[in-house]
């Protein structure tokens, strides 16, 4: 086991020029981050061996096209089951636990947004000609420009996407441009038209499919007439999903029109899992994410396992990788793909899965930490209502509840639904993962659950952390 001193001091990683780099020319990147889309929320079957890993109601033909031209990850994870912590992890390759930013609305004054290495800063270090842009939902406690983006439409949050936190969010509103899908696609197309002569990184962070539910009239009419799926049954949600897919198609078409196919990676990912049900607080028997357990707000599979699909130069067509990867891995992977020889990343939790993308579908990702970590140390009235943390290492995942130290252990290779708790039957594995989880939370000074703490707006320096209880 990696000791704490090694873990805390070692995580200075240098990504060297590797076999991942195929060209001298710097590649382009288009990262499409969608909001609240479940692992099986599209018509792409994310796991070839499981027909339940795609929707039997939603239609996403453009995403199917993207998957057929590239690689899909059946074991891809967001770093958190809610948006803001997940988005931080993508930009900086650090878990929410390490950043002490574990839920939406937390005070972020303690985070050095300007000083940390980010996606646009790293790419510009590799090649100063990179042009970078972010359009859509930012969801981070800074501005895109402060983090290194050349162009943006501002530090947008849910409200700019039409979110109102009341019961109206679950009623479908007919709009010509639902969730600004086509406005964002137009911004992306204009950026491509103006910057295709330079290497670029373009991130489109959609407000869809987060509530409030919005859709075009023709899309809604289609799903109101279509037979419902086994679990996904909301016509407005399905229509919004297809509208989102059409926006993706506009970007794919523009890349082809400009002749950028041979040197452009298109990455499609969700920030966390889908809401478990619509309306979100309603009791349910099976989640919208079934066969995954539960959904957004929880560190069970329905909350953190997400679609991840990548196409681009020298990627085999139509392949699946079962290697566990995370949003924390995006930054080091992009660095590797861009041909870094000396980018230094301090105290990160991710690793590059470049070799997986380039054909070694079973290559394990090398990280400076011993697994994928999830930290949800608060009571959520909608979800499990219990503070918990989790770690996945190999096929096994451990969930630890902080209110009574209950352990749940699952073999995800055999039990994707997390229905068979092995903690009392495989005590050795449970102890191993509990020790890894505890050591990690202590090493990164993760915020500690406390009864009665108000997480939103509370400065982090008055929140207890795990290391303080040693």
Which percentage of the chain shows pLDDT scores above 90? 82
pLDDT value for 21: 55
CA pair distance 456, 447, nearest whole angstrom? 13
Residue 24 pLDDT level (bands cut at 50, 70, 90): low
Bridge partners (DSSP) listed for residue 224: none
Model confidence over 59-99: pLDDT tens digits?
999 999 999 999 999 999 999 999 999 999 999 999 999 99
Residue 11 pLDDT level (bands cut at 50, 70, 90): very low
Identify the structural domains of the chain with CATH numbers, from first to last.
12-357 (3.40.720.10), 372-469 (3.30.1120.10)
Burial of 225 (0-12, 13-18, 19+ CB in 10 A): exposed
Cα 349 → chain centroid = 14
Mean pLDDT for the stretch of residues 403-422: 97
Bridge partners (DSSP) listed for residue 137: 156
Helices and strands (H, E) in the chain, number of each type: 13, 18
pTM of structure = 0.94
- The answer for residues whose C-beta is within 8 angstroms of residue 57's C-beta and 6 or more apart is 223, 226, 228, 229, 232, 233, 238
Is residue 281 over pLDDT 80?
no
Average pLDDT, the chain: 92
The single residue listed with the structure tokens 């915020």 is: 447
Is residue 3 over pLDDT 60?
no
CA pair distance 354, 18, nearest whole angstrom? 9
Is residue 174 over pLDDT 60?
yes
pLDDT value for 222: 98
Model confidence over 339-349: pLDDT tens digits?
986 888 999 99
Model confidence over 107-126: pLDDT tens digits?
899 999 999 999 999 999 99
pLDDT value for 164: 95
Model confidence over 330-373: pLDDT tens digits?
999 999 999 986 888 999 999 999 999 988 777 889 999 999 99
Residue 465 pLDDT level (bands cut at 50, 70, 90): confident
HSE-up of residue 395 (Cα within 13 Å, Cβ side): 7
pLDDT value for 178: 98
């Amino acid at each position: 086991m990696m000791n704490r001193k090694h873990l805390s001091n070692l995580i200075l990683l240098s990504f060297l020029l590797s076999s991942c780099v195929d060209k001298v020319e710097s590649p382009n990147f288009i990262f499409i981050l969608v909001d609240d889309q479940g692992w099986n929320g599209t018509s792409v079957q994310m796991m070839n061996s499981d027909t339940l890993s795609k929707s039997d109601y939603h239609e996403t033909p453009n995403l199917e096209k993207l998957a057929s031209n590239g690689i899909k990850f059946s074991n891809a994870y967001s770093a958190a089951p809610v948006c803001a912590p997940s988005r931080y992890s993508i930009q900086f390759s650090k878990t929410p636990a390490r950043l002490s930013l574990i839920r939406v609305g937390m005070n972020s004054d303690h985070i050095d947004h300007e000083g940390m290495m980010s996606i646009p800063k790293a790419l510009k270090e590799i090649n100063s000609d990179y042009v970078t842009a972010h359009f859509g939902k930012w969801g981070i406690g800074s501005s895109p420009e402060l983090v290194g983006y050349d162009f943006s439409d501002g530090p947008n949050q849910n409200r700019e996407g039409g979110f109102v936190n009341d019961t109206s969010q679950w009623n479908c509103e007919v709009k010509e441009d639902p969730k600004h899908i086509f406005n964002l696609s137009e911004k992306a197309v204009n950026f491509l038209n103006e910057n295709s002569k330079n290497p670029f990184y373009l991130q489109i962070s959609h407000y869809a499919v987060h509530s409030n539910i919005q859709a075009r009239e023709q899309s809604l009419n289609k799903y109101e007439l279509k037979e419902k799926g086994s679990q996904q049954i909301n016509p407005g949600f399905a229509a919004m999903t297809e509208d989102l897919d059409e926006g993706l198609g506009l970007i794919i078409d523009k890349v082809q029109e400009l002749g950028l196919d041979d040197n452009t990676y298109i990455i499609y990912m969700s920030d966390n899992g889908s809401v478990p049900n619509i309306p979100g607080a309603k009791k349910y028997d099976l989640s919208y994410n079934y066969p995954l357990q539960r959904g957004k707000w929880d560190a069970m599979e329905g909350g953190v396992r997400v679609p991840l699909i990548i196409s681009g130069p020298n990627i085999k067509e139509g392949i699946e990788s079962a290697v566990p990867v995370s949003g924390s891995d995006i930054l080091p992977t992009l660095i590797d793909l861009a041909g870094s020889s000396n980018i230094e990343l301090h105290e990160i939790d991710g690793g590059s899965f470049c070799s997986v993308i380039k054909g070694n579908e079973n290559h394990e990702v090398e990280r400076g930490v011993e697994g994928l970590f999830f930290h949800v140390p608060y009571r959520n009235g909608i979800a499990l209502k219990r503070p918990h943390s989790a770690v996945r290492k190999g096929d096994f995942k451990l969930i630890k509840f902080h209110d009574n130290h209950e352990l749940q252990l699952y073999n995800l290779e055999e039990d994707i639904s997390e229905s068979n708790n092995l903690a009392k039957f495989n005590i050795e594995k449970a102890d191993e993962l509990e020790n890894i989880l505890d050591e990690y939370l202590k090493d990164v000074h993760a915020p500690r659950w406390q009864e009665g703490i108000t997480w939103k707006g509370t400065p982090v320096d008055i929140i207890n952390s795990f290391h303080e209880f040693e």
